[in-house]
Amino acid sequence: MSRRGSDFAGLSVALVTPFTDGKLDVAKLKEQIEFQIDAGTTCVVPAGTTGESPTLSHPEHERLISETIQIAAGRIKVMAGTGSNSTSEAISLTERAAKEGADATLQVAPYYNKPTQEGFYQHYKAIAEAIEIPICLYNIPGRTGKNIDPETIARIAEFQTITMVKEATGSLDQASQVLSMTDLTVLSGDDSLTLPLMAIGGEGVVSVVGNIVPKDMIALVNSFAAGDVAKAQEWHHKLFPLCQDLLSIASNPIPVKAAMAELGRDTGELRLPMTPLNADQLTALRQTLANYGIDTFSRA
Protein backbone atom coordinates (compact mmCIF):
# COMPACT_ATOMS: atom_id res chain seq x y z
CA MET A 1 0.00 0.00 0.00
CA SER A 2 1.25 3.48 -0.88
CA ARG A 3 0.99 5.57 2.26
CA ARG A 4 0.48 9.26 2.75
CA GLY A 5 3.39 10.88 4.56
CA SER A 6 5.98 8.37 3.40
CA ASP A 7 8.33 11.26 2.54
CA PHE A 8 8.81 11.53 6.32
CA ALA A 9 9.92 7.90 6.61
CA GLY A 10 13.20 7.36 8.44
CA LEU A 11 14.55 9.28 11.40
CA SER A 12 12.90 12.39 12.74
CA VAL A 13 14.50 13.84 15.86
CA ALA A 14 12.45 15.48 18.60
CA LEU A 15 14.85 18.31 19.39
CA VAL A 16 15.60 19.45 22.90
CA THR A 17 15.21 23.19 23.38
CA PRO A 18 18.55 24.68 24.46
CA PHE A 19 18.35 27.32 27.19
CA THR A 20 21.09 29.53 28.57
CA ASP A 21 20.27 31.69 31.59
CA GLY A 22 16.59 30.99 31.04
CA LYS A 23 16.49 32.09 27.41
CA LEU A 24 16.45 30.26 24.10
CA ASP A 25 20.05 29.68 23.00
CA VAL A 26 19.88 30.11 19.21
CA ALA A 27 23.59 29.41 18.71
CA LYS A 28 23.24 26.05 20.47
CA LEU A 29 20.05 25.33 18.50
CA LYS A 30 21.98 25.91 15.28
CA GLU A 31 24.71 23.50 16.41
CA GLN A 32 22.11 20.83 17.14
CA ILE A 33 20.36 21.23 13.78
CA GLU A 34 23.65 21.18 11.87
CA PHE A 35 24.54 17.98 13.77
CA GLN A 36 21.33 16.37 12.50
CA ILE A 37 21.86 17.57 8.94
CA ASP A 38 25.39 16.14 8.95
CA ALA A 39 24.06 12.81 10.26
CA GLY A 40 21.54 12.49 7.41
CA THR A 41 18.42 12.81 9.58
CA THR A 42 15.16 13.13 7.63
CA CYS A 43 13.41 15.68 9.82
CA VAL A 44 13.76 17.74 13.00
CA VAL A 45 10.83 18.35 15.30
CA PRO A 46 11.02 21.51 17.44
CA ALA A 47 8.61 22.34 20.27
CA GLY A 48 7.48 18.83 21.06
CA THR A 49 7.45 17.02 24.41
CA THR A 50 11.24 16.70 24.30
CA GLY A 51 11.44 20.42 23.53
CA GLU A 52 9.63 21.31 26.78
CA SER A 53 6.87 22.98 24.80
CA PRO A 54 4.50 23.35 27.80
CA THR A 55 6.99 25.74 29.41
CA LEU A 56 7.45 27.97 26.35
CA SER A 57 5.59 31.25 26.12
CA HIS A 58 3.72 31.83 22.86
CA PRO A 59 6.40 34.22 21.54
CA GLU A 60 9.12 31.71 22.49
CA HIS A 61 7.21 28.86 20.86
CA GLU A 62 6.85 30.80 17.63
CA ARG A 63 10.46 31.98 17.70
CA LEU A 64 11.81 28.46 18.29
CA ILE A 65 9.95 27.16 15.26
CA SER A 66 10.90 30.18 13.13
CA GLU A 67 14.59 29.91 14.04
CA THR A 68 14.57 26.18 13.31
CA ILE A 69 13.07 26.72 9.87
CA GLN A 70 15.56 29.47 9.05
CA ILE A 71 18.54 27.39 10.20
CA ALA A 72 17.29 24.31 8.33
CA ALA A 73 16.96 26.41 5.15
CA GLY A 74 15.43 23.53 3.23
CA ARG A 75 18.34 21.18 3.98
CA ILE A 76 16.27 19.05 6.36
CA LYS A 77 12.53 18.79 6.90
CA VAL A 78 10.93 20.60 9.82
CA MET A 79 7.83 19.20 11.55
CA ALA A 80 6.71 21.95 13.90
CA GLY A 81 5.17 21.02 17.23
CA THR A 82 2.07 23.24 17.22
CA GLY A 83 -0.49 21.13 19.04
CA SER A 84 -2.57 22.34 21.96
CA ASN A 85 -5.50 21.35 24.13
CA SER A 86 -7.19 24.47 22.75
CA THR A 87 -8.30 23.94 19.15
CA SER A 88 -8.16 27.63 18.26
CA GLU A 89 -4.66 27.91 19.72
CA ALA A 90 -3.48 24.87 17.76
CA ILE A 91 -4.81 26.40 14.55
CA SER A 92 -3.18 29.75 15.28
CA LEU A 93 0.22 28.21 16.07
CA THR A 94 0.02 25.98 13.01
CA GLU A 95 -0.95 28.80 10.66
CA ARG A 96 2.06 30.76 11.87
CA ALA A 97 4.39 27.77 11.40
CA ALA A 98 3.02 27.12 7.91
CA LYS A 99 3.55 30.76 6.98
CA GLU A 100 7.15 30.50 8.22
CA GLY A 101 7.72 27.49 5.94
CA ALA A 102 7.28 24.39 8.13
CA ASP A 103 7.09 21.17 6.13
CA ALA A 104 4.57 19.56 8.48
CA THR A 105 3.00 19.93 11.90
CA LEU A 106 3.00 17.60 14.89
CA GLN A 107 -0.38 17.79 16.61
CA VAL A 108 -0.46 16.26 20.07
CA ALA A 109 -3.81 14.93 21.26
CA PRO A 110 -5.57 17.55 23.41
CA TYR A 111 -4.27 17.03 26.93
CA TYR A 112 -5.79 17.57 30.38
CA ASN A 113 -9.34 18.26 29.18
CA LYS A 114 -9.76 14.59 28.04
CA PRO A 115 -12.20 15.04 25.13
CA THR A 116 -14.55 12.32 23.95
CA GLN A 117 -13.70 10.48 20.74
CA GLU A 118 -16.07 12.87 18.96
CA GLY A 119 -14.13 15.72 20.52
CA PHE A 120 -10.87 14.35 19.13
CA TYR A 121 -12.47 14.07 15.71
CA GLN A 122 -13.85 17.60 15.73
CA HIS A 123 -10.54 19.00 17.00
CA TYR A 124 -8.51 17.47 14.17
CA LYS A 125 -11.24 18.20 11.62
CA ALA A 126 -11.04 21.90 12.47
CA ILE A 127 -7.25 21.90 12.12
CA ALA A 128 -7.29 19.90 8.88
CA GLU A 129 -9.81 22.28 7.35
CA ALA A 130 -7.84 25.36 8.40
CA ILE A 131 -4.36 24.50 7.10
CA GLU A 132 -2.70 22.89 4.10
CA ILE A 133 0.61 21.46 5.34
CA PRO A 134 0.79 17.75 6.31
CA ILE A 135 -0.41 16.89 9.81
CA CYS A 136 1.05 14.20 12.06
CA LEU A 137 -1.28 13.07 14.85
CA TYR A 138 0.61 12.54 18.10
CA ASN A 139 -1.10 9.92 20.23
CA ILE A 140 0.56 9.67 23.64
CA PRO A 141 -2.05 8.81 26.28
CA GLY A 142 0.61 8.50 28.99
CA ARG A 143 1.07 12.26 28.71
CA THR A 144 -2.38 13.41 27.60
CA GLY A 145 -4.57 11.20 29.76
CA LYS A 146 -6.64 9.67 26.96
CA ASN A 147 -6.14 7.47 23.90
CA ILE A 148 -7.29 8.37 20.40
CA ASP A 149 -9.00 5.13 19.39
CA PRO A 150 -8.02 3.53 16.06
CA GLU A 151 -11.58 3.96 14.80
CA THR A 152 -11.33 7.69 15.50
CA ILE A 153 -7.97 7.92 13.74
CA ALA A 154 -9.58 6.20 10.74
CA ARG A 155 -12.31 8.87 10.71
CA ILE A 156 -9.74 11.66 11.00
CA ALA A 157 -7.74 10.11 8.14
CA GLU A 158 -10.58 11.05 5.78
CA PHE A 159 -8.94 14.48 5.61
CA GLN A 160 -6.09 14.38 3.10
CA THR A 161 -3.85 16.74 5.07
CA ILE A 162 -3.74 14.13 7.85
CA THR A 163 -0.80 12.03 6.64
CA MET A 164 1.00 10.54 9.66
CA VAL A 165 0.62 9.21 13.19
CA LYS A 166 3.31 9.43 15.84
CA GLU A 167 2.38 6.27 17.72
CA ALA A 168 3.32 6.47 21.39
CA THR A 169 0.69 4.28 23.03
CA GLY A 170 3.15 1.42 23.47
CA SER A 171 0.56 -0.91 21.94
CA LEU A 172 1.44 -2.84 18.79
CA ASP A 173 -2.19 -3.90 18.60
CA GLN A 174 -3.24 -0.26 18.33
CA ALA A 175 -0.56 0.44 15.74
CA SER A 176 -1.62 -2.64 13.76
CA GLN A 177 -5.21 -1.44 13.72
CA VAL A 178 -4.21 2.02 12.50
CA LEU A 179 -2.04 0.52 9.76
CA SER A 180 -4.78 -1.86 8.63
CA MET A 181 -7.57 0.74 8.73
CA THR A 182 -5.77 3.69 7.08
CA ASP A 183 -3.11 4.62 4.55
CA LEU A 184 -1.32 6.87 7.05
CA THR A 185 2.41 6.62 7.65
CA VAL A 186 3.00 5.42 11.22
CA LEU A 187 6.13 6.58 13.04
CA SER A 188 7.19 5.18 16.39
CA GLY A 189 6.98 7.57 19.31
CA ASP A 190 9.02 5.18 21.47
CA ASP A 191 12.67 4.65 20.50
CA SER A 192 12.76 1.13 21.88
CA LEU A 193 9.74 0.07 19.78
CA THR A 194 11.09 1.34 16.46
CA LEU A 195 12.00 -2.08 15.08
CA PRO A 196 8.86 -3.88 16.31
CA LEU A 197 6.72 -1.11 14.83
CA MET A 198 8.54 -1.25 11.50
CA ALA A 199 8.02 -5.01 11.47
CA ILE A 200 4.26 -4.47 11.26
CA GLY A 201 4.43 -1.67 8.69
CA GLY A 202 5.70 1.46 10.44
CA GLU A 203 8.21 3.53 8.52
CA GLY A 204 10.45 5.15 11.09
CA VAL A 205 10.60 7.00 14.38
CA VAL A 206 10.30 10.40 15.99
CA SER A 207 13.24 9.89 18.29
CA VAL A 208 14.64 11.20 21.56
CA VAL A 209 17.88 9.19 21.49
CA GLY A 210 18.46 10.56 17.99
CA ASN A 211 19.60 13.76 19.69
CA ILE A 212 22.71 11.80 20.72
CA VAL A 213 23.25 8.96 18.22
CA PRO A 214 21.28 9.80 15.07
CA LYS A 215 23.53 7.75 12.79
CA ASP A 216 22.84 4.61 14.82
CA MET A 217 19.08 5.14 14.66
CA ILE A 218 19.34 5.76 10.92
CA ALA A 219 21.34 2.54 10.57
CA LEU A 220 18.59 0.59 12.34
CA VAL A 221 15.81 2.09 10.22
CA ASN A 222 17.71 1.79 6.95
CA SER A 223 18.79 -1.80 7.64
CA PHE A 224 15.21 -2.92 8.11
CA ALA A 225 13.97 -0.90 5.13
CA ALA A 226 16.65 -2.58 2.99
CA GLY A 227 15.51 -6.03 4.12
CA ASP A 228 18.50 -6.73 6.35
CA VAL A 229 16.53 -7.86 9.38
CA ALA A 230 19.52 -9.39 11.15
CA LYS A 231 21.46 -6.12 11.00
CA ALA A 232 18.40 -4.19 12.17
CA GLN A 233 18.11 -6.58 15.11
CA GLU A 234 21.76 -6.00 15.99
CA TRP A 235 21.17 -2.25 16.08
CA HIS A 236 17.97 -2.73 18.09
CA HIS A 237 19.74 -4.75 20.77
CA LYS A 238 22.65 -2.30 20.92
CA LEU A 239 20.37 0.73 21.19
CA PHE A 240 17.79 -0.79 23.54
CA PRO A 241 19.56 -0.13 26.91
CA LEU A 242 20.34 3.45 25.88
CA CYS A 243 16.78 4.08 24.72
CA GLN A 244 15.34 2.50 27.86
CA ASP A 245 17.52 4.44 30.29
CA LEU A 246 17.07 7.80 28.60
CA LEU A 247 13.34 7.43 29.17
CA SER A 248 13.33 5.69 32.56
CA ILE A 249 15.99 7.32 34.73
CA ALA A 250 13.69 10.36 34.91
CA SER A 251 10.96 12.00 32.85
CA ASN A 252 11.85 13.00 29.30
CA PRO A 253 13.69 15.27 28.48
CA ILE A 254 15.63 15.37 31.76
CA PRO A 255 18.00 12.46 30.98
CA VAL A 256 18.65 13.35 27.34
CA LYS A 257 19.45 16.94 28.25
CA ALA A 258 21.83 15.72 30.93
CA ALA A 259 23.45 13.36 28.43
CA MET A 260 23.90 16.16 25.92
CA ALA A 261 25.46 18.32 28.62
CA GLU A 262 27.86 15.47 29.37
CA LEU A 263 28.85 15.56 25.70
CA GLY A 264 29.21 19.34 25.63
CA ARG A 265 26.31 19.66 23.20
CA ASP A 266 23.79 21.38 25.46
CA THR A 267 23.81 23.39 28.65
CA GLY A 268 21.50 20.83 30.26
CA GLU A 269 19.40 23.70 31.56
CA LEU A 270 15.75 22.80 32.22
CA ARG A 271 12.67 24.82 33.03
CA LEU A 272 10.51 24.15 36.04
CA PRO A 273 8.73 21.94 36.79
CA MET A 274 11.51 19.85 35.23
CA THR A 275 14.47 19.46 37.59
CA PRO A 276 18.00 18.06 37.06
CA LEU A 277 19.07 14.51 37.79
CA ASN A 278 20.25 13.86 41.32
CA ALA A 279 23.76 12.50 41.94
CA ASP A 280 22.74 8.83 41.83
CA GLN A 281 20.74 9.32 38.64
CA LEU A 282 23.62 11.16 36.99
CA THR A 283 25.99 8.34 37.92
CA ALA A 284 23.58 5.84 36.37
CA LEU A 285 23.32 7.93 33.21
CA ARG A 286 27.10 8.17 32.88
CA GLN A 287 27.32 4.40 33.24
CA THR A 288 24.70 3.93 30.53
CA LEU A 289 26.64 6.20 28.16
CA ALA A 290 29.88 4.40 28.97
CA ASN A 291 28.29 0.99 28.42
CA TYR A 292 27.10 2.15 25.02
CA GLY A 293 30.58 3.35 24.14
CA ILE A 294 29.81 7.07 24.20
CA ASP A 295 32.85 9.00 25.35
CA THR A 296 32.00 11.85 27.70
CA PHE A 297 35.54 13.14 28.16
CA SER A 298 34.62 16.35 26.35
CA ARG A 299 31.77 17.32 28.63
CA ALA A 300 31.59 21.00 29.45
Question: Would you say residue 127 has pLDDT above 70?
Answer: yes
List CB contacts of 70: < 8 A, sequence separation 6 or more.
Answer: none
Under DSSP, is residue 12 helix (H, G, I), strand (E, B) or coil?
A: strand
pLDDT tens digits for range 169-198? 999 999 999 999 999 999 999 999 999 999
- pLDDT score of 41 more than 50: yes
Relative orientation angle of helices 254-262 and 279-292, to the nearest 10 degrees: 70
* Marked catalytic residue, from 138, 146, 257, 292: 138
Question: Would residue 170 be called left, alpha or beta, if left means φ above 0 and alpha means ψ between -120 and 50 degrees?
Answer: left
pLDDT score of 6: 96
- The highest-level CATH class for domain 6-226 is alpha beta
Question: Would the pLDDT of 1 be above 90?
Answer: no
Which of 28, 77, 146, 166 is the catalytic position? 166
Contact in structure between 256 and 246 (CB atoms under 8 Å): yes
pLDDT tens-digit map of 254-289: 999 999 999 999 999 999 999 999 999 999 999 999
Report which secondary-structure segment, H or E, holds 257.
helix 254-262
pLDDT of 300 reads 35
**Main-chain phi, psi angles of 147, to 5 degrees:** -85, 140
Distance CA 276, CA 144 (A): 23
* Domain residue ranges in the chain: 6-226
Q: Is 114 a catalytic residue?
A: no
Is 138 assigned a catalytic role? yes
Q: What is the pLDDT of residue 2?
A: 85
User: Would residue 201 be called left, alpha or beta, if left means φ above 0 and alpha means ψ between -120 and 50 degrees?
Assistant: left
Residue 298 banded pLDDT, cuts 50, 70, 90: very low
Distance CA 258, CA 277 (A): 7
